[in-house]
Structure formats: C-alpha cells, structure tokens
Amino acid sequence: MNLIVLFGGSSYEHEISIVSAVTLKDKIKKHNLTFVFVDRDRDFYLIEKENMKSKYFSTFEYKKAKKLNLVKNGFEAKKLFGSEKISGVVLNLIHGRDGEDGKIAGMMQFFCIKCITPNLEASVVSYNKLYTKMYAKELGVKVVDYKYITDDSYTPDKFPVIIKPVRLGSSIGVTIAKNIDEYKYGLDVAFEFDNGVLIEEFIEGVNEYNLAGCYANEFIFSKVEKVKKDKFLSYEDKYLDFSRKEAKTEEVSSELEEKLKDNFRKIYNTTFEGSLIRCDFFEINGEVYLNEINPIPGSMANYLFSDFDEVIEKLANSLKYEKKIDIDYSYINKIQMAKGK
Amino acid sequence: MNLIVLFGGSSYEHEISIVSAVTLKDKIKKHNLTFVFVDRDRDFYLIEKENMKSKYFSTFEYKKAKKLNLVKNGFEAKKLFGSEKISGVVLNLIHGRDGEDGKIAGMMQFFCIKCITPNLEASVVSYNKLYTKMYAKELGVKVVDYKYITDDSYTPDKFPVIIKPVRLGSSIGVTIAKNIDEYKYGLDVAFEFDNGVLIEEFIEGVNEYNLAGCYANEFIFSKVEKVKKDKFLSYEDKYLDFSRKEAKTEEVSSELEEKLKDNFRKIYNTTFEGSLIRCDFFEINGEVYLNEINPIPGSMANYLFSDFDEVIEKLANSLKYEKKIDIDYSYINKIQMAKGK
C-alpha cells in the first residue's frame, strides 16, 4: 500500500502537524510512505522522505520541493511533458483548521480519493465542541454541564471554570479562571480565536482517560491511557506531547475499561467510520463523561497500539468510496416529452 | 460583479439543480453571469449562456463545453498555451450531496474563493436533519418531537408518522405511514437512502410557512409564504416547484411574521453567515416550530424577494475570506534552539 501522509495546513496547529508527521515517519514500517505537505498558503508539495525534518519546513527549504495539484483520484505533479500521478490511500494528519474542520475530508471525497480521516460530517461534530456536546447527549453519552456563549453578558456563579473557544484544538485559547477577573481576561482571550465559547465547571483532581480506536469490520481499541495530570496541559506541553512515542499507560480495572469502550462505541457509531480517533474521558464518581473527541490525534496516537502498522492496514482496507448516484436525466426527459419537444 | 453559478453535482438532486440554474438565469439582471456545471463524474464545465437549457445537459451535449480545473482563487481553463482564469463570486446552487453537505463550501474556502453558500459547518447542521433538531433545540427554537433510529427495532405507538432519511432533501425517501404495514415499507425505502432515519408524528392540517433571508450587515427577509398544502408534496411536485417563478404569498398577521423572523434570526445566528437560506416553519397552536432549514433553496427562492439582484449584491459584498493564520515557525525554531542546532 502507498500511504500518502498529508500534513501542514492553514492552521494554528500547522507546526504541530509537521512534528506529528516527522514522528510518524519511523512508526509505519510495512507500508510505502509518501509525504504531501500543505503549506501556509495551501499549496501542495511532495516531500522526499530524507527531508522529513522540522527544520526543512521552518527554513522554507520545502519551497524547492515539487509542487502538486489536487486532481481526480490523487495528486499530480506537472512535468515538462505531461504530468506524473500520485495515488494511494491518504492519511489526513492536518491538525486543527483544514484537517479537522472537514475541508480535507470533503475534498478527498469530492475527488474520489480514499482517506483515513473523519468524514466531513464527523469532522464538524468533533471540531466544534458545542456540537460534540449535543451529539454525545443525543447518543446517551454523559458530558460535563456547560454554558454556550457568544458574548460577554454571562457570568458564572461558581469558580473555577474552564473557558474554551468552541472550534480550536490543542488547548489554544483555553483558560482556567479561578475568579471573576481571570474569567473576564479568559473570555477576551477565547473571543480572540472564536465567536463561540463554552464555559464549564472546572473539576479539580478528576481522573482522565484516553482511549483510541477505529472500526474496520470490528472495533480495534488501543490501550487505555490514564492521563498524568499534575497540572493543566498548556499549548506548549501539548505541543511537545505530539512528538511522544510511548504511552503513559497504567493498569485500569476491566470494569472501567469496558465502560470506556462502551462509550467509545456509541460516539464512534457509524459517524466516525474511516477514521482513527481518540476519545478523552473523565471519570467522576464512577461515571464516565466524554471530555473531547480528538478526531486526528497527534501522530495518530500510534504509541497506544501494539501493532500500529496492522491497524492502519485494516483501516485502509475498510475504506469505501461514496455511493455512486445514477443520474440518467429521466425527470428532464419526462418534462421534455410532456412539452412535446 | 461576475457571479459564477455553480450547479449540477453528484447528487440525487442533480437534475433539480439544472432546472434551478436555468430558472435563475433570467432572474439575475444586474450582474454578469458565468455558469459552471459539475457533471455526474464531478468534472467542471464552462457553459455558455445560450446553452443554459435542460436539454443541453440531458443529451450530454455539455461534454463539448470547455473543461475547467478548480485552482487557487477560481477556475482555470487549459488553453493550448497557458491557461485562462475565471474569477468572481461563486453562487453555490448544487442541491443535495456535494452542494448542501458542505463539500463545495469547504473547497471554496480552501481555494480562497468567495462563495454564497452555507459554510461547511452550517451545511452539516442543515443537511443532517438530526443535527438540525439538536441545533435548533440548543438555540431555543421549537422542533416537532422525533425519534432517531439506525435500525428497524423501533415501532411507533401512534400513527400517522412521517419517515425521513436524515441526510436527503426534496422529499427523497420520505414516506407518510398511516399504519404498521406502511411504516415497515417506509423504513425499507428510507434505509435505501441513508443509515439514519427520523420518525416524527405527522400532524395533519398544520399551517406551514416559508421565510427566506440572509444577513448582510443587517437581516434581509423575504415575504412570508404560506404553503398551500392540499397534500404532501412528493419529489415530482417539488421538482416542478424548483422552476417556480412566483410566490404563493398570503397575508399573515404581523404578530406571526415577527415570530417567524425571530426564529429565523436565532437559526441563522452567525452560523449561516454568507448564505441565503429558507426556513420552513410549522404553526401549531399559535407556536412556531422549525420544520427544516433549506440551505440552498430552489432557484434561491428568488420569487420571494422584491429586488433579488440587490439581495445578491449585498450578500456578495458581505462575504469574507477565512481569517489568515500567521505561521512563523516560532515553536519549531524554539525547539531547534533548545537542541542547539
């Protein structure tokens, strides 16, 4: 299989995506890897494997690489005479905007390219934290209570609270406010990034568990990771986290593990078919709550799986093209006939 | 202004979109119109205005037209030497899949092309009827009670019910079932089209009102249309409806009109910015309920507006590009420095 790793993007997490792709390079051994970079101007570049180092991008050396066009069934490099086609299964590794908001998924579907990614609809559900809440509630998965605001007219009556822009990942624009002053400042920060903000009670000392997985004829689950949470992870912490290669796993009870998997299955449903996601859960008084869906986890959470190559292979083989719609102009023909034309 | 009308698409409503575009041709007088057709294979064609007749498409004559590529900032026609660029504001008139599911919106955003369309997120909210319900409830807009099912294990205890595939428009796959046998048959039909189905109580004799509008520095509303509902509109009825040029308006009380506008504003919110949508409401016991959001109404519901050219102009002028994200590689540079490289 030729696996086309698509990374970069016009996103606050552009640099994180580069780190994620560089990390993944050594983690996929069985498949042929092709790297396609989406630069900040959204131009596509074919990156040679030996150039997959973060410095190659930060110094703009990548501009010397071969430029690609997105075309039906794959990417195309213009040559002096004709063009060269790159085809295979795409792995969408663009974190944040472009990758997680559904643009890439929609484009891959439109251009009939198989792609490991949450599809367009699933992307919107996971990218917008308000929709994640609505979606989870609809499926009977518990979420922490929240208030959705679009201006600064609301003030919570209890602190601490956590303030989150609805559409960003990697803790960007997120603040924990212990009092009204911190709250006001946090709102300013959040509204810098988004026009919608979620306010949640911040529950200290809560246990947090991550579980990754996908569906490929059957559910494939990762190990459960108990998040070590000495403190709230800032953007920088999470950034370094994206290059992580090993899981910080800890034994969890089989009862809890089953509960986490149950909730994962409900969330994954059929909506997330074709993707490998990580669900981040809270455990509060023995009950499991969904915190976030991570639709494209850093370096695909490879460190949580014992045989990552196999997971990717099974998932890739389970991908389907969109259903073909027959268009035979029967309605227009009927009208033409009725008109006697 | 050059207005690029994009129509067709790989959609059950492909033919409807052609009719919609042909109808619109004579309704926009002030702006230069360019027609770009997306055929059933998702190839783009530049259609001359004199060829904008449904027969041109149903006989596949369009295959002789100039083929286009989607590129940064517009469309491109290959010429013997170099290429010709087509730029302007796109009007997304693709009904159903591709157009209303968010693919076109996402692609236009990615390629930095201004486009009159619900954006990707708004598309998902309106295309999937389950999400429309969740979204409306979240914003305090009433919806008719429903049951969401993904298999045939649920049987309603009251009839008649209306059975709707969650993701299709134009009444495709919709059945009104008056008893259990009709229900079973209706489910089979609905699951032919989708893996998720909504079941609602079918309330007979309910008043139905359509209101179209957009936001362009201020809300611009259409006339309120009271739907003449001798019977449930089938796909064929609605199809003919798409070529309609006049509104079937009827005087409604100013109190009701204000209620409808209030609910429209809540739904439109900021989510639907950049689009002209039609909201279809029910009136039950004096209360307004959202039935459906029509994100790309047939021929843009032009017949409901007194000066359609002006609406399109104002809306086009209000369109914005996505916020530019500065990517300066400061995190990668910091890490490189820390490594001493």
pLDDT of residue A124: 97
Angle between helices A14-25 and B330-339 (to 10 degrees): 50
pLDDT at B170 over 80: no
Is residue B71 within 8 angstroms of chain A, CB to CB? yes
Distance CA B198, CA B148 (A): 5
Contact B177/A at CB under 8 A: no
Based on the fold, state whether residues B21 and B57 are members of the same structural domain: yes
CATH of the domain at A180: 3.30.1490.20
Same domain, A133 and A244: yes
* Cβ-defined contact of B332 to A57 (cutoff 8 Å): yes
Position A308 in a domain: yes
Is A323 or A21 the better-scoring residue by pLDDT?
A: A21
Model pLDDT, residue B256: 95
Q: How confident is the prediction for chain A on average, in pLDDT?
A: 91
Residue B197 and residue B273 in one domain:
no
Q: How far is A112 from chain B (nearest CA, A)?
A: 9
* Chain B contact probe: residue of A67, A325, A330 with most B CBs at under 10 A: A325
Q: Do A216 and A130 reside in the same domain of the chain?
A: yes
Residue B179 DSSP code: S
Residues A213 and A298 both lie in one domain: yes
Q: Give the integer Cα–Cα distance in Å for A20 and B277.
A: 39
Range of the domain at B48: 2-118
Q: Average pLDDT of chain B?
A: 91
Question: Among A154, A185, A201, where does a domain finish?
Answer: A201
Side chain identity at B250, as an amino acid letter? E
Asked if residue A337 belongs to a domain, the reply is no
Give me the residue from A18, A101, A130 closest to B120, CB to CB. A101
Residue A138 lies inside a defined structural domain of this protein? yes
Q: Is B150 on the interface with A (CB under 8 A)?
A: yes
Question: Are B162 and B59 found together in one domain?
Answer: no
- The set of residues, in sequence order, having a beta carbon less than 8 Å from that of A9 and lying 6+ positions away, is A17, A38, A42, A94, A95, A96, A97, A98, A99, A104
| This prediction's pTM | 0.92
Q: With respect to residue A330, please indicate whether it lies within any of the assigned structural domains.
A: no
- Asked whether the predicted pLDDT for residue B220 surpasses 90, the reply is yes
Q: From CA B99, how far away is CA B123, in angstroms rounded?
A: 9
Q: Is the pLDDT score of A213 beyond 70?
A: yes
Residue whose entry in the numeric block shows the structure tokens 């850093």: A298
Q: List, edge to edge, every strand of the sheet that includes A2-8.
A: A83-86, A74-78, A66-71, A44-47, A32-38, A2-8, A89-92, A115-116
Pairing assessment for the beta strands B277-284 and B287-294 based on DSSP bridges:
antiparallel
Mean pLDDT lowest among A91-95, A175-179, A236-240, B207-211: A236-240
pLDDT of residue B315: 98
Look at chain A and report how many structural domains it folds into: 3
Last residue of a domain, one of B201, B224, B242: B201
pLDDT over 80 (residue A94): yes
Chain A hits for B14, CB-CB cut-off 8 Å, are: 325, 327
Last residue within a domain, chosen from B201, B231, B248:
B201
- Tell me if chain A has a CB within 8 Å of the CB of B19: yes
Confidence (pLDDT) at B79 = 79
Q: Do residue B138 and residue B184 come from a single domain?
A: no
Q: What is the ipTM score, two decimals?
A: 0.91
Residue bearing tokens 């389970």: A318
Contacts of A121 in chain B (CB under 8 A): 101-102, 124, 127-128
Tokens 């517009």 correspond to: B74
Identify whether residues B131 and B275 lie together within a single domain. Answer: yes
Q: How many residues does chain B have?
A: 341
CB-based contact, A195 to chain B, within 8 Å:
yes
Question: What is the token pair recorded at A134?
Answer: 């609505």
- Chain A CA closest to residue B96: A325
Q: How many CB atoms lie within 10 A of CB A258?
A: 10
pLDDT: which is higher, A334 or B33: B33
From B16, B128, B269, residue closest to A121, measured CB to CB: B128
Quote the pLDDT of residue B82: 77
Beta strands in chain B (DSSP E): 2-8, 32-38, 44-47, 66-71, 74-78, 83-86, 89-92, 115-116, 146-149, 161-165, 175-177, 197-201, 207-215, 219-226, 277-284, 287-294
Q: Could you give the CA distance from residue B209 to residue B225 in angstroms, rounded to a whole number?
A: 5
User: Do residue B107 and residue A102 have CB atoms under 8 angstroms apart?
Assistant: no
Let me know whether A156 and A80 are in one domain. Answer: no
Give the pair of three-digit tokens for residue A215: 């569906």
Query: What percent of chain A clears pLDDT 90, i.e. is strictly above it?
Result: 78
| Claim to verify: residue B135 and residue B186 sit in the same structural domain | no
In a domain, B329, yes or no: no
Dump pLDDT digits (tens) for B251-292. 789 999 999 999 999 999 889 999 999 999 999 988 999 999
DSSP code for A249: B
Q: Can you give the CATH number for the domain in which A19 is found? A: 3.40.50.20
What's the rounded mean pLDDT across residues B165-194?
A: 90
Are residue B135 and residue B280 in the same domain, yes or no?
A: yes
Instruction: Give yes or no for B73 touching A (CB within 8 A).
Output: no
> What is the share, in percent, of chain A residues with pLDDT greater than 70?
93
Q: Each residue of B50-89: pLDDT tens digit?
A: 999 999 999 999 999 999 999 999 999 987 777 899 999 9
Of A10, A102, A329, the CB nearest to B57: A329
Lowest mean pLDDT among A72-81, A300-309, B52-61: A72-81
Distance from CA of B25 to the nearest CA of A (A): 17
Question: What are the residues whose beta carbons fall under 8 Å from the beta carbon of B253, sequence distance 6 or more?
Answer: none
B20 and B73 fall within a common domain = yes
Instruction: Tell me if B325 is assigned to some domain.
Output: no
* A336/B58 Cβ within 8 A: yes
H or E stretch at A44: strand A44-47
Q: Which positions in chain A touch B107 (Cβ < 8 Å)?
A: 103, 106-107, 110
Which chain A residue is nearest to residue B341, measuring alpha carbons?
A55
Is A160 part of a structural domain of the chain?
A: yes
Looking at residue A268, which CATH number applies to its domain?
3.30.470.20
Q: Is any Cβ of chain A less than 8 angstroms from the Cβ of B138? A: yes
User: Is the pLDDT reported for residue B129 higher than 60?
Assistant: yes
